[in-house]
Amino acid sequence: MSNASDFIIENGILKKYVGPGGDVVIPEGVTSIYRGAFSACDSLSSVTIPEGVTSIGDQAFEYCENLTSVRIPDSVVSIGGWAFQVCNNLTCISMGQWLRGFEEVMSRVKRPGRLDFAVQTASAVSAVHVKARKNALLGFAVENPKDLLSERARSYLDYAKKNAEKLAEFAISHPELLLYLCDHNLILPKNYDAYLAEAEKNGGTEEKAILLNYGNKLGAQAIEAARKKKERTIEAGDEQLIERMAAQNPAKGIEGMTFVIADLPKWWRSKSLLKDFLVSYGAVLESTVTKKTNYLVVEGMDNHVEKISKAQRLGVQILSGEDFNDMVCWYYKNKERILVPAWIKEIQGFAFSDCSNLESINVAEESAFFKSTEEGLLLSADGKTLVACPRKVKSVSIPEGVTLIADRAFYGCKELIRVSIPDGVTSIGEWAFRNCDSLKDLSIPRSVRAIGLLAIPSAGRGYSVTIHAPAKSFAARYAIENNIPFVAE
């Protein structure tokens, strides 16, 4: 049980937790949890936040590595960035609604297990945020699995049937939901293998038994027919994609193809730009799926359900945004060099974070949006913004004329040892040097007047970077405030 003396509270804002940890209940009357209030509290195991708290600040629970569960009330309307970063044992967040910032919570919690969150079930699944629907379905299955006739029940049954294959991993982790899906024949023969594979990988005896019994119910003949049909579809799609990828410029392989783009794939700023590109290579962009459509592009099977259903009925191949970009771009994930095509208008620094072998980023000569340096750095066309750095670079001298280092520009450059920033650079973006595990020396000039959130890793936690900067400069103060070794120059 928590004591009042465990908390430093000012005007309803919980500034700092100073207690012994364990199972903590935040006192009534608190309206906000301040940035970093529980940061690095290794002894914290669970937190109950009372009704009345409206916001959770940036990094509020970062590095609480033994925190396992958090209960968030309906009064909370926002969660700050990196609020649960490196909470490696966090397995359950309970809340009544989908919150702004929760995507960040899920993406920054890195753990060996799974993060589950309980969400109240609404009158219809359509009333639940799309990213929380599988959890709402679980809540419904546990709450009233016999209800089949009400409008509410039909909405959950319909969602489960349409998304059965995507629910496999989640259902194997929750036997109540798996049993619900099997009891109501919501796993079709074509999806049975996906569930069986997931059970072999992550399931236990109970899950395997449920699926084997359900397989007997479906019948071996139905399952085998579904397998053969799926194999034929995959083989046909792979052959078409490989044929296009084998071309020196894969985009040339889309001539005569008709596309319906349901979601704008990343890297594309607008549909008009995408349409112009497709037209330039002899392809067609339509808004409605018909028999003449070759490809439907969607980012997720939860989106554009009607178009997806129609495409499946007509035999139209469905591509993810990533598949589409692979089809029309240089395929570069395992390449040492990348050529950025002229039609690419926007790139973010972390776009190349998975390109572990990348030594150089090059830009097509006709590009009006980007250019590259001899070192292979990616710059804006005017040379004022450093956009991205290749992941295999060990030492970088940023060229004169650069005034801004973009967000995540060096993110994931794990072999980078030293960086020299020239006079004239005024701003370093958020996460600019995060995950640069080998970075030792960073020279920052007096001209830098702004450094974004978590731009430079603090001392400890595997990092040992030293900032070299003029005494009494902005960078010098930043180093001291963030516990980063500093050498005056």
Q: Determine how many CB atoms are found less than 10 A away from the CB of residue 44.
A: 23
Q: What is the per-residue pLDDT for 332? A: 46
Q: Which amino acid type is present at position 477?
A: R
The residue with greater pLDDT, 145 or 376, is 376
Both tokens of 74, joined, read 């309906």
Residue pair 351/358 in contact by the 8 Å Cβ criterion = no
What's the pLDDT band for 187 if we cut at 50, 70, 90? confident
Element (H, E) at 69: strand 69-71
Mean pLDDT of 15-25: 92
**Residue 203, φ and ψ in degrees, nearest 5:** -85, 170
Per residue in 233-268, pLDDT (tens digit) is 655 554 554 454 444 456 667 888 999 998 887 666
Q: Which of 359, 397, 363, 393 is nearest to 378 (CA)?
A: 363
Enclosing H/E stretch for 175? helix 175-183
Q: Rg for the chain (alpha carbons), in Å?
A: 26
Helix (H) or strand (E) holding 286: strand 284-286
Average pLDDT estimate for 397-416: 91
Residue 216, CB-side half-sphere exposure with 13 Å CA sphere: 5
* Domain layout of the chain by residue ranges: 4-221, 249-328, 332-489
d(CA 349, CA 6): 41
Q: From the DSSP assignment, how many helices (H) and strands (E) are in the chain?
A: 12, 27
**pLDDT at 461 (0 to 100):** 54
Does the structure show a pLDDT above 60 at 436?
A: yes
- Phi, psi values for residue 13, rounded to 5°: -100, 120
- Overall residue count recorded for the chain in this entry: 489
Residue 157, burial from CB neighbour count under 10 angstroms (0-12, 13-18, 19+): buried
Confidence (pLDDT) at 244: 47
Considering only 37-41, 72-76, 90-94, 160-164, which range has the smallest mean pLDDT? Answer: 90-94
CATH 3.80.10.10 fits 332-489, yes or no: yes
The answer for 255, left when phi > 0, alpha when psi is -120 to 50, beta otherwise, is beta
Residue 397 pLDDT class (50, 70, 90 cuts): very high
Which pLDDT band holds residue 125 (cuts at 50, 70, 90)? confident
Provide CB contacts within 8 A for 305, sequence distance 6+.
162
388 or 123, greater pLDDT: 388
One-letter amino acid identity for 55? Answer: S
Q: Is the pLDDT of residue 300 over 50?
A: yes
**Average pLDDT value for residue range 140-156:** 78
Give residue 449's pLDDT.
92
**341 Cβ contact list (under 8 Å, min separation 6):** 251, 329, 330, 364, 367
Q: How far is CA 360 from CA 210, 273, 322, 337, 393, in A?
A: 51, 26, 22, 5, 8
Pairing of strands 116-118, 92-94: parallel
Could you tell me the two tokens for 365?
């000569």
Cα 236 from Cα 233, distance rounded (Å): 5
Q: Which 3 state secondary structure label does DSSP give 36?
A: coil
Which residues have CB under 8 Å from 379's CB, separation 6+?
370, 371, 372, 373, 385, 386, 387, 399, 402
Per-residue pLDDT tens over the stretch 313-357: 888 988 888 778 777 764 444 456 676 766 677 776 666 766 777
Segment 149-172 mean pLDDT: 84
Out of 40-49, 93-102, 223-232, which region has the weakest mean confidence (pLDDT)?
Answer: 93-102
Spatial separation of the C-alpha atoms in residues 319 and 324, rounded to whole Å: 6
Residue 191: pLDDT band with limits 50, 70, 90 = confident
pLDDT at 137 over 90: no
Q: Which of 43-52, 97-106, 137-146, 185-194 has the lowest mean pLDDT?
A: 97-106
The predicted pLDDT at position 122 comes to 62
pLDDT of amino acid 241: 45
* Angle, CA of 317, 323 and 326, to the nearest 5°: 130
Select from 179, 188, 134 the least CA-distant residue to 161. 188
Give SS3 for 461. Answer: coil
In terms of CATH, what superfamily is 249-328?
BRCT domain (3.40.50.10190)
Residue scoring higher pLDDT (444 or 158): 444
